[in-house]
Each structure stands twice: as structure tokens, then as C-alpha cells.
């Protein structure tokens, strides 16, 4: 897992490697400087010799300056490397997410993806920086101190080695218990994100039903969960520091005991064995090791927390989209004849209920097809299979004789434009939103498309016309206005196949008839599939498909269906007088 993440360092490898090098140089200075300091006292101050003080002082100054430079560089490169690493992780995740199918998205949930891209990456970034800065410093200090200790008395220094397994065991147990709890903590972060997101998106419902307290309680449930789990996990981690302290303290006590015996045995003669002076040095090194270990243990805490995050990031990078290009994708579309052959579809593999059952259908290029049907009769599902928003469960759909799954996804979706039922606009200007259809569209193109969609007029009435800022989800436009911009956006793609999924439901009938007329006039060759609740929107179509409970109940022209289809007749009658749309 860590290996997978480390792949994302890429162009920051150099900076990553530079950091420990500068840290090592800095540490080297830190090892030398205390010797100079000791000398300054011993030979300068104690002797009252100002020349020595000044000379050593100048040297010290120089070394300190060097150390400062190395330290600064180490800090600089660690900052660059870790921020860059984080950037690449986010990039890799987001890139993969863009290829996800909707079932991939459902698996992680929107909020889960957001947490991974921000909170989890921040955790990894912080510990990565900490590791870069501390992980080379502390081991170096430890090795330096250990070597020095061994040179004084190898036998006594074995005490340190004896302490190591205990330390390791302790740390192992700490992670073993803390790690799963941290995984749970970040799951709860997903939940927290979701609750906040839904609350913001549904704030009108919350306020209309005065459910503020209810929402607060819902939020407090999850914030309590985070509180409890995080506290629990961090309290386990709190054993870390005392564990390190204790193992070093015990080493010191053992050192004192055996050291004292050794000194007594040798008669405090360095030549025969240990001397008191040497014992003092050993103790100094012990304290140095202790300090370094404490720093290391802080790194260890960070790693434990970020391990849970790393795993979550890796999951997202590794997830394979189950909606991919075939092996030899087709890049051209010969003609736009659509055929459904025995298509069955269900949203999840487990569900025993099919949303679409045995659909057989041929739509010739340039035809206008109306689709009508009751609420939940799978009209939307039917059309979403064409640009492969979902893949069929069995059977196949071909365009121009080629299975849609064999097309290059981009080619396919370039040819098929869908105006979704739930229209989404993005924060940005009207123009920005329109250019989604065609990034290179000229001003005239934009205006023309808007004219066909009957949007030009109201856009010109906006405060800054085409440069008016649209809020997220178009919250500053009315439903009908949003729908018309969405339509214009789709027209700019100049598609071969245009699918309108009930996308004029909030537009008044008169405007809608203008839109339909304009489409006939300006896009005569485009195959049009129009889902609607209104008979008037579909009655002029070449063919009208009546959907019922996931099946095609009838196909035919308006007149044929009036004669043959009971459902169609009923719908017609329900709209006969009162079903017409005003305004």
C-alpha cells in the first residue's frame, strides 16, 4: 500500500531525497558544536583566556551559520516534497474518480471521496513531512550515541539492545489496537461530510419543516461518534511516550546497577574496566537516545494515524472503473441508427428486479421519437443506456451496427447529447456553462444555440447578460431558465443523437412549442428522443414509445396509439381538457 502511494512522489523525488541529506549535515554540525562549546569553557572561560573564547566563538558562529543554512534547506525541501506529494496524490485520485462509473461512486459515496481527497491527504502530507525531517535525524542521533556507548563498554551497552524488543513489542501492540479504531474514525468523517452536505443541499426542506433541532441531533450523533472513537484511539497512542520513557529509565537503572558493580570490581580504573567518568558519559548518551526516541515516537503516532488514511487513499487510486473502453475501441460512428436487442437492465447485480425487460427497438437516423410512460416506468433508464451512463445487464445496444461498448467512450458521448431530467449547472458565468458543450464556440454559436433553446431573451435580461454569475446548482435561476440553458449547452455539442429527458417540464407550453419547432428547423438530421409527460410534446413524433413497468407497451404514431394503446388513450384523455399546460 505504501509502495503504491510512494509512486505518486514522481517529480518530487529529488526534493524528497535532498531533505534527509541536509538533515544529516545539520545533525553533523549539531554533533560537533557541543565539543567546541565544552572546549570554550574548559580552555577559554575556566582559564580566563579571552583569545581562546573569541577564536572558538568565531568558529562556533561559523558552524552555527552552516547549521542554519542546512536546517533551512532541509525545512524548505521537506515542505516542497510533502506539499508536492500531497498534490500528486490528490491528482491521481481525482483523475481516477473522473473515470468512475456510478456504481464506483456509490461504493465510496460522494462524501467518502471528498474526505479522501482532503482530510486523508492532509494527514498523509503532515506525517510525510514529519518523517522526512525526523526519521533521518533521530536514527542518526541514536546510532551516533549507540556507537559511542559501545566504544566505552560493549557489555553494558547490550542493555540497550535488550530494551529494544520490549519497546518494539509495546509499539506493535499500540498500533494493533489503535489502527482499526482510526479506520473507523475516518469512516465517521465520511458520515459527517455527508450529513453536512445533505443539510446544505436540503436547507429549504430543513427550514420549511423546522427540522433544525432534528438536524442538529443527527449531527451531534456523528460528532459524538468521532469524539469517542478519536479519543479512544489517541488514548491508546498516549501509551507511546511513557513506554519509551520507561524503557529508557529501566535501561538507566540497570546501567547504574551493573555499572556500579563494574566500577567497584575494577577499582574505578579505566584500564581494568569501567570508571565513573565513563559511566557519566554512558548516562549522557542514554539521555540522548531517550530524547531521539521520544521524537521518533511522535513520528510513530503520526504514521499510525496516517496509515489509516493511506489505506483509504490507496483504495481510491486502485479502484478500477467498471465502465471502460474496450480493447479496440471504435473512433468513428458511421451512422446513427440505434438498435436495442433483447436489452435487460438492473441497477445492481444483486437486485432480482429488472428495471428494463427485453427491450427491442430500432430508431432510424433523423427520426424523432417520443417516449411516454407512468412514473417509475424506466423511461430515463432506457435513454441513459445509449451514451453508456450505465451498461446493459444483458442483450446489447448498437449504434450504426456497432455495440456501444465497442466505441471509444469519448467518441460515443460526443455524438450523443443528453439533457438530463435533473439539470445541473455549475458555478461560473452563463457563458462558462454553455461552453461545456463546445469549448471553442464563438459568441455567435452561443447566441444561436440559446435562441433555439429560447434562452437568449431571458439571458439578455440578466444583470450581466451572458457574463452573469450562476451560483452552484443554478440557485439564482428559476427551474425553467435552468432547463433552457441546459438545452442550449447540449445543442452546442452538435450531436447526432439528442436526448431530452423531460427537460422542458418547467418550461411553459408556448415556449416549449417554439423550442420543438426550432429543433425541427435547425437540426433536421439529428435523431431526437424526447421523454415527456405531455402528449403535445410528443404527438408529432415519427414514433411514440409507451413504456410501462420497464417494458415497451406500445409503439406507433399518435393516431395509431390512440387506436391501439389503452394507456396512451388514458393519458390523452387525462390531458384532454385539463391536462393541457398553461403558462
Order of strands across the sheet that contains 338-345: 356-363, 338-345, 394-399, 402-403
Query: 460: which 3 cell numbers?
Result: 439578455
* Greatest alpha-carbon span in the chain: 120
Choice between 241 and 555, CB closer to other proteins: 241
CA distances from 420 to 220, 273, 389, 416, 474 (A): 36, 87, 11, 12, 15
Q: What distance lies between CA 453 and its chain's CA centroid?
A: 36
Q: What distance lies between CA 195 and its chain's CA centroid?
A: 17
CA atoms within 13 A on the CB side of 244: 22
Choice between 221 and 367, CB closer to other proteins: 221
Min. distance of Cβ 461 from other proteins in angstroms?
8
Choice between 139 and 341, CB closer to other proteins: 139
Min. distance of Cβ 83 from other proteins in angstroms?
4
Choice between 341 and 429, CB closer to other proteins: 429
> From CA 186, how far away is CA 121, in angstroms rounded?
12
Min. distance of Cβ 339 from other proteins in angstroms?
21
Task: Specify the 3-state DSSP secondary structure of 583.
Answer: coil
The residues, any chain, with a CB within 8 Å of residue 347's CB and separated by 6 or more, are 355, 381, 390
Query: 221: which 3 cell numbers?
Result: 450523533
Cell 491508546 -> residue: 236
Choice between 62 and 326, CB closer to other proteins: 62
Min. distance of Cβ 102 from other proteins in angstroms?
7
Min. distance of Cβ 536 from other proteins in angstroms?
5
CA distances from 467 to 209, 427, 433, 452 (A): 36, 12, 10, 19
Choice between 375 and 444, CB closer to other proteins: 375
Min. distance of Cβ 538 from other proteins in angstroms?
12
The residue among 163, 165, 161 whose CA lies nearest residue 149 is 161
> From CA 387, how far away is CA 381, in angstroms rounded?
11
Min. distance of Cβ 328 from other proteins in angstroms?
20
Query: 340: which 3 cell numbers?
Result: 436495442
CA 410, 412, 416: angle at the middle one, nearest 5?
A: 115
Min. distance of Cβ 167 from other proteins in angstroms?
13
Choice between 126 and 398, CB closer to other proteins: 126
Burial-class residue 312 by CB neighbours within 10 Å (0-12, 13-18, 19+).
Answer: buried
Query: 496: which 3 cell numbers?
Result: 447526432
CA atoms within 13 A on the CB side of 71: 10
Min. distance of Cβ 361 from other proteins in angstroms?
20
Query: 433: which 3 cell numbers?
Result: 456553462
Residue 278 near residue 256 (C-beta atoms within 8 A): no
Choice between 48 and 401, CB closer to other proteins: 48
Min. distance of Cβ 29 from other proteins in angstroms?
9
> From CA 143, how far away is CA 285, in angstroms rounded?
10
DSSP strand pairing (497-501 vs 469-470): unpaired
Amino acid at each position: 500500500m505504501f509502495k503504491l502511494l510512494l509512486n505518486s512522489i514522481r517529480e518530487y523525488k529529488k526534493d524528497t531525497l535532498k531533505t534527509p541529506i541536509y538533515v544529516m549535515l545539520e545533525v553533523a554540525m549539531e554533533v560537533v558544536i557541543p565539543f567546541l562549546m565544552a572546549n570554550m569553557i574548559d580552555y577559554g572561560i575556566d582559564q580566563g583566556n579571552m583569545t581562546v573564547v573569541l577564536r572558538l566563538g568565531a568558529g562556533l558562529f561559523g558552524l552555527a551559520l552552516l547549521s542554519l543554512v542546512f536546517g533551512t534547506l532541509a525545512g524548505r525541501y521537506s515542505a516542497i516534497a510533502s506539499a508536492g506529494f500531497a498534490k500528486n496524490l490528490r491528482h491521481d485520485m481525482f483523475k481516477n474518480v473522473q473515470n468512475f462509473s456510478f456504481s464506483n461512486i456509490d461504493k465510496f459515496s460522494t462524501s467518502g471521496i471528498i474526505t479522501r481527497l482532503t482530510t486523508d491527504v492532509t494527514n498523509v502530507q503532515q506525517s510525510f513531512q514529519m518523517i522526512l525531517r525526523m526519521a533521518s535525524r533521530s536514527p542518526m542521533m541514536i546510532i551516533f550515541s549507540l556507537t559511542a556507548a559501545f566504544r566505552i563498554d560493549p557489555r553494558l551497552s547490550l542493555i540497550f539492545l535488550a530494551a529494544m524488543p520490549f519497546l518494539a513489542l509495546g509499539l506493535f501492540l499500540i498500533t494493533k489496537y489503535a489502527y482499526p479504531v482510526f479506520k473507523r474514525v475516518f469512516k465517521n468523517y465520511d458520515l459527517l461530510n455527508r450529513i453536512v452536505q445533505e443539510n446544505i443541499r436540503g436547507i429549504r426542506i430543513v427550514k420549511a419543516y423546522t427540522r433544525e433541532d432534528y438536524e442538529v441531533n443527527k449531527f451531534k450523533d456523528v460528532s459524538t461518534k468521532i469524539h469517542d472513537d478519536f479519543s479512544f484511539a489517541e488514548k491508546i497512542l498516549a501509551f507511546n511516550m511513557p513506554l519509551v520513557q520507561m524503557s529508557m529509565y529501566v535501561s538507566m537503572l540497570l546501567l547504574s546497577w551493573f555499572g556500579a558493580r563494574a566500577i567497584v570490581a575494577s577499582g574505578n580504573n579505566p584500564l581494568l574496566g569501567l570508571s565513573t567518568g565513563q559511566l557519566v558519559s554512558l548516562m549522557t548518551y542514554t539521555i540522548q537516545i531517550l530524547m531521539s526516541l521520544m521524537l521518533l515516537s511522535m513520528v510513530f503516532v503520526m504514521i499510525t494515524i496516517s496509515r489509516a488514511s493511506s489505506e483509504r487513499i490507496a483504495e481510491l487510486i486502485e479502484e478500477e472503473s467498471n465502465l471502460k473502453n474496450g480493447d479496440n475501441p471504435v473512433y468513428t460512428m458511421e451512422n446513427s441508427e440505434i438498435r436495442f436487442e433483447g436489452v435487460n437492465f438492473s441497477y445492481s447485480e444483486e437486485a432480482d428486479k429488472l428495471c428494463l425487460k427485453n427491450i427491442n427497438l430500432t430508431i432510424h437516423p433523423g427520426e424523432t421519437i417520443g417516449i411516454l410512460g407512468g412514473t417509475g416506468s424506466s423511461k430515463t433508464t432506457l435513454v441513459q443506456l445509449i451514451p453508456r451512463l450505465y451498461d446493459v445487464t444483458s442483450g446489447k445496444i448498437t449504434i450504426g451496427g456497432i455495440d456501444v461498448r465497442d466505441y471509444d467512450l469519448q467518441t460515443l458521448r460526443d455524438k450523443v447529447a443528453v439533457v438530463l431530467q435533473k439539470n445541473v449547472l455549475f458555478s461560473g458565468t452563463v457563458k462558462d456553462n454553455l461552453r461545456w458543450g463546445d469549448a471553442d464556440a464563438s459568441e455567435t454559436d452561443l447566441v444561436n444555440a440559446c435562441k433555439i433553446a429560447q434562452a437568449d431573451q431571458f439571458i439578455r435580461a440578466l444583470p450581466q447578460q451572458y457574463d452573469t454569475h450562476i451560483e452552484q446548482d443554478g440557485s439564482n435561476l428559476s427551474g425553467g431558465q435552468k432547463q433552457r440553458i441546459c438545452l442550449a449547452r447540449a445543442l452546442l455539442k452538435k450531436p447526432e443523437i439528442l436526448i431530452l429527458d423531460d427537460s422542458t417540464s418547467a418550461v411553459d407550453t408556448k415556449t416549449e412549442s417554439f423550442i420543438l419547432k426550432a429543433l425541427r428547423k435547425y437540426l433536421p438530421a439529428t435523431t431526437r428522443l424526447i421523454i415527456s409527460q405531455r402528449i403535445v410534446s410528443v404527438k408529432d413524433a415519427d414514433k411514440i414509445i409507451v413504456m410501462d413497468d420497464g417494458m415497451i407497451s406500445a409503439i406507433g404514431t399518435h393516431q395509431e396509439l390512440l387506436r391501439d394503446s389503452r394507456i396512451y388513450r388514458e393519458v390523452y384523455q387525462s390531458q384532454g381538457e385539463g391536462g393541457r399546460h398553461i403558462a
